[in-house]
Amino acid sequence: MPSDTLIDASLSSRLRSNRIGFQTIMIKEVTRLLRIWPQTIVPPVITTTLYFIIFGKVIGSRVGEMGGVPYMQFIVPGLVMMSVINSSYQNVVSSFFSSKFQRDVEEILISPMHNAAILLGYMAGGIARAMVIGTIVLLVSLLFVDTLSIYSVPITFSVALLTATLFSIAGFINAMLARKFDDVAIVPTFVLTPLTYLGGVFYSITLLPQPWETISRFNPIVYMVSAFRSGILKDRLDPAMIDMNLGFAFAVIVLFIVGLFSLTLWMLNRGIGLRT
């Protein structure tokens, strides 16, 4: 019964094996998010719709324009980005921590999969959820704005993808370090939400007085919101209202991804939070 063909140690065999392993985790994650759609897809859409109604319709009508565009149009990119950030983070942190809690993560840990393939598999689930919800939120926004043309689809799409990638990794780190369900909620509540609200979703940080404007530049979410807003509104928005240079914003996001991905791989290799 033992199969020697599986003990093929060649590089191509290992790559193929890891590709299948990665696909297995990715399919499992996407299946999970679709299976429990009332928990994974509906709530963020409802929350963001409420933001559109309250901040866009009720308050926005009194604000008027910001940077040459209606306030509702100004906040659409920020709200989409907020849902992308929360969805990617929440998907990975809840899924991986549940696996840790139920101990079925051991199925993966005892397998010959490379740690990078494991991480990429979970990230794929987070990215998938973020892109689905981001798209739905963008479509919902069309109910509240008269027109919403996208300045550059490649910029808009790539910023959303990179942001989802970054926060999927962050969610994975949170899940690795979490020991109880409370630990899963701490970072989103006390770190992610304040950073998102202060990340230029509802305003341009250029409107802030010093030293708050300078302090805000240390908030990585500012770079993502700004880059995403540029992708949608750059041709209409007052350049003074664009918080960050697009190239610099991309560089910062990529730098964070590389840094966090390397950190997570190191943690996985050491078994931090997973092995005793």
Partner 1 sequence: MNSVKALEINNLSKTYRDGTVALRGIDLVVEEGEFFGLLGPNGAGKSTTIGIMTSLVNKTGGTIRCFGVDLDEDPARVKRQIGLVPQEFNFNQFEPPEQIVMQQAGYYGLPRSVAGQRTEKYLRKMGLWDKRATSARMLSGGMKRRLMIARALVHEPKLLILDEPTAGVDIELRRATWSLLEEINAEGTTVILTTHYLEEAESLCRRIAIIDRGRVIENTDKKSLLSKLNIETFIFDLQSAAPAGLLLGGYTHRLTDSTTLEIDVLKEHSLNAVFEMLTTQDVNVMSMRNKANRLEELFVEMVEANEGQPSDG
- Site for partner 1, rule CB under 8 A: 1-4, 6-7, 9, 13-14, 16-18, 20-21, 23-25, 28, 99, 102-104, 106-114, 270-271, 275-276
Q: Which of 122, 140, 106, 89 is nearest to 265 (CA)?
A: 122
Q: Which is nearer to partner 1, 75 or 105 (CB)?
A: 105
**Smallest gap, in angstroms, from Cβ of residue 214 to partner 1?**
41
**Smallest gap, in angstroms, from Cβ of residue 19 to partner 1?**
8
**Smallest gap, in angstroms, from Cβ of residue 114 to partner 1?**
7
**Smallest gap, in angstroms, from Cβ of residue 272 to partner 1?**
10
Place of tokens 């190239």: 247
The amino acid sitting at 7 is: I
Instruction: State the CB neighbour count (10 A cutoff) for residue 95.
Output: 23
Place of tokens 């319709």: 57
Q: Which is nearer to partner 1, 5 or 149 (CB)?
A: 5
Q: Which is nearer to partner 1, 47 or 98 (CB)?
A: 98
Q: Which is nearer to partner 1, 181 or 248 (CB)?
A: 181
**Smallest gap, in angstroms, from Cβ of residue 110 to partner 1?**
5
**Smallest gap, in angstroms, from Cβ of residue 13 to partner 1?**
8
Instruction: State the CB neighbour count (10 A cutoff) for residue 24.
Output: 15
CA 147 to chain centre: 26
Specify whether the CB–CB gap between 87 and 48 falls below 8 A: no
Q: Which is nearer to partner 1, 23 or 214 (CB)?
A: 23
Distance CA 90, CA 185 (A): 9
Q: Which is nearer to partner 1, 57 or 270 (CB)?
A: 270
**Smallest gap, in angstroms, from Cβ of residue 121 to partner 1?**
9
Distance CA 180, CA 185 (A): 10
Q: Which is nearer to partner 1, 8 or 65 (CB)?
A: 8
Q: Is 110 exposed, middle or buried (0-12, 13-18, 19+ CB in 10 A)?
A: exposed
User: Residues with Cβ < 8 Å from 256, sequence gap 6 or more?
Assistant: 166, 220
Q: Which of 256, 260, 265, 55 is nearest to 159 (CA)?
A: 256
69 beta partners? 66
Specify whether the CB–CB gap between 151 and 230 falls below 8 A: yes
Instruction: State the CB neighbour count (10 A cutoff) for residue 224.
Output: 32
Q: Which is nearer to partner 1, 62 or 275 (CB)?
A: 275
**Smallest gap, in angstroms, from Cβ of residue 27 to partner 1?**
8
